[in-house]
């Protein structure tokens, strides 16, 4: 599929996009658009520092490996609320996320972010697609990611692909932490992502959740912050699948392989409930 790139002058204004998301509730088609968005964005040191604090990263001169999602969030929101996009944003479920660190994320003040969608596939509960995000600087590609999203209720021909199941090898407890009630609101303030299911029990109940749940990208960020001494700073792929949501408040336990170029991780909760599992490895 050839992407029709549209260049955007800076980060989009978020409130009109949230209004557009709130007023679109119907599935309008079953074909992904060919459109993509690109923009040069400034890296704000104060915003990065606030993000580090909420997600548990220490200052090491590099952008946190999950921070490009925050930089590109406005472009993602603009793409997923465009008239040509067939699925309503509210109700999309984040199933998995894969990040590739191509080069160290240091010394950055201005980067180009690109977003597009691809890989529409049938799923037992609807259809999935991949939201692709990429960061470049003047020297070329820096970072890329794919977020697999589920839209329930979409009807596509064909059989859903078989899920790939990998058993983690030789993992031990690395860390544990408390996910407090207010973490959804704290993450929203540093990311711009004000999804109601993360903000409070009251707003989460409007969407069928008995309690607010932690944002998946906060879960991944907090995990990578805890593993910062385990992982290389570049030439690295980190893929996770989100399982059961982390209800707020609750304690979570991180298990992982020993430090090295590759390994497995799991995030568990009360009574060994699995919230997330994944793997890191060098780029091919």
pLDDT value at residue 157: 82
Angle at 150 between CA 122 and CA 265, to 5 degrees: 110
Q: Which distant-in-sequence residues (6+ apart) come within 8 Å of 79 by Cβ?
A: 35, 36, 37, 85, 115, 116, 117, 131
Q: Can you say how many angstroms the Cα of residue 128 is from the centroid of all Cα atoms in its chain? A: 15
pLDDT value at residue 44: 96
What is the C-alpha to C-alpha distance for residues 155 and 172, in angstroms, rounded to an integer?
41
In the chain, % of residues over pLDDT 90:
85
pLDDT value at residue 208: 85
pLDDT value at residue 45: 96
Q: Can you say how many angstroms the Cα of residue 127 is from the centroid of all Cα atoms in its chain? A: 18
Confidence of residue 91 (pLDDT cuts 50, 70, 90): confident
What is the C-alpha to C-alpha distance for residues 139 and 141, in angstroms, rounded to an integer?
7
Of residues 158 and 97, which shows the higher confidence score? 97
pLDDT value at residue 74: 97
Mean pLDDT of the chain: 93
Confidence of residue 100 (pLDDT cuts 50, 70, 90): very high
Average pLDDT over residues 117-138: 96
pLDDT value at residue 164: 64
Angle at 209 between CA 160 and CA 90, to 5 degrees: 60
Q: Which homologous superfamily does the CATH classification assign to the domain defined by 1-163?
A: Hotdog Thioesterase (3.10.129.10)
Domain residue spans of the chain? 1-163, 165-284
Q: Which homologous superfamily does the CATH classification assign to the domain defined by 165-284?
A: Hotdog Thioesterase (3.10.129.10)
Confidence of residue 68 (pLDDT cuts 50, 70, 90): very high
For 26-55, what is each residue's pLDDT tens digit?
999 999 999 999 999 999 999 999 999 999
For 172-211, what is each residue's pLDDT tens digit?
999 999 999 999 999 999 999 999 999 999 999 988 889 9
Q: Could you check whether 1-163 and 165-284 share the same CATH topology?
A: yes
Confidence of residue 2 (pLDDT cuts 50, 70, 90): confident
Average pLDDT over residues 254-274: 92
Q: What DSSP assignment string belongs to 70-115?
A: HHTHHHHHHHHTSTT--S-STT-EEEEEEEEE-S--BS-SEEEEEE
For 243-262, what is each residue's pLDDT tens digit?
999 999 999 999 999 888 89
Instruction: Enter the DSSP assignment of 64.
Output: -
């Amino acid at each position: 599929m050839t992407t029709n790139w549209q260049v955007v002058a800076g980060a989009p204004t978020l409130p009109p996009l949230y209004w557009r998301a709130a007023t679109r509730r119907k599935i309008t088609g079953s074909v992904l658009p060919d459109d993509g968005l690109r923009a040069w964005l400034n890296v704000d040191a104060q915003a990065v520092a606030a993000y580090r604090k909420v997600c548990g990263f220490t200052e090491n001169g590099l952008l946190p490996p999950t921070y490009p999602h925050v930089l590109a969030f406005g472009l993602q929101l603009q793409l997923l609320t465009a008239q040509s996009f067939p699925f309503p944003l509210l109700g999309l479920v984040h199933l998995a996320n894969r990040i590739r660190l191509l080069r160290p994320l240091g010394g950055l003040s201005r980067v180009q972010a690109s977003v597009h969608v691809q890989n529409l596939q049938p799923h037992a509960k609807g259809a999935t697609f991949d939201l692709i995000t990429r960061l470049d600087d003047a020297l070329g590609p820096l970072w890329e990611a794919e977020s697999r999203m589920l839209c329930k209720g979409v009807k596509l021909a064909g059989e859903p692909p078989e899920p790939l199941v990998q058993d983690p090898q030789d993992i031990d407890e690395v860390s544990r932490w408390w996910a407090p009630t207010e973490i959804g609101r704290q993450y929203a303030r540093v990311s711009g992502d004000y999804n109601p299911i993360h903000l409070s029990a009251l707003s989460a109940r409007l969407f069928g959740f008995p309690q607010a749940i932690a944002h998946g990208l906060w879960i991944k960020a907090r995990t990578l912050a805890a593993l910062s001494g385990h992982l290389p700073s570049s030439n690295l792929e980190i893929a996770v699948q989100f399982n059961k949501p982390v209800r707020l408040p609750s304690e979570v336990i991180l298990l992982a392989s020993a430090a090295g170029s590759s390994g497995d991780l799991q995030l568990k909760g009360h009574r060994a409930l699995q919230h997330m599992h994944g793997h890191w490895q060098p780029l091919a």
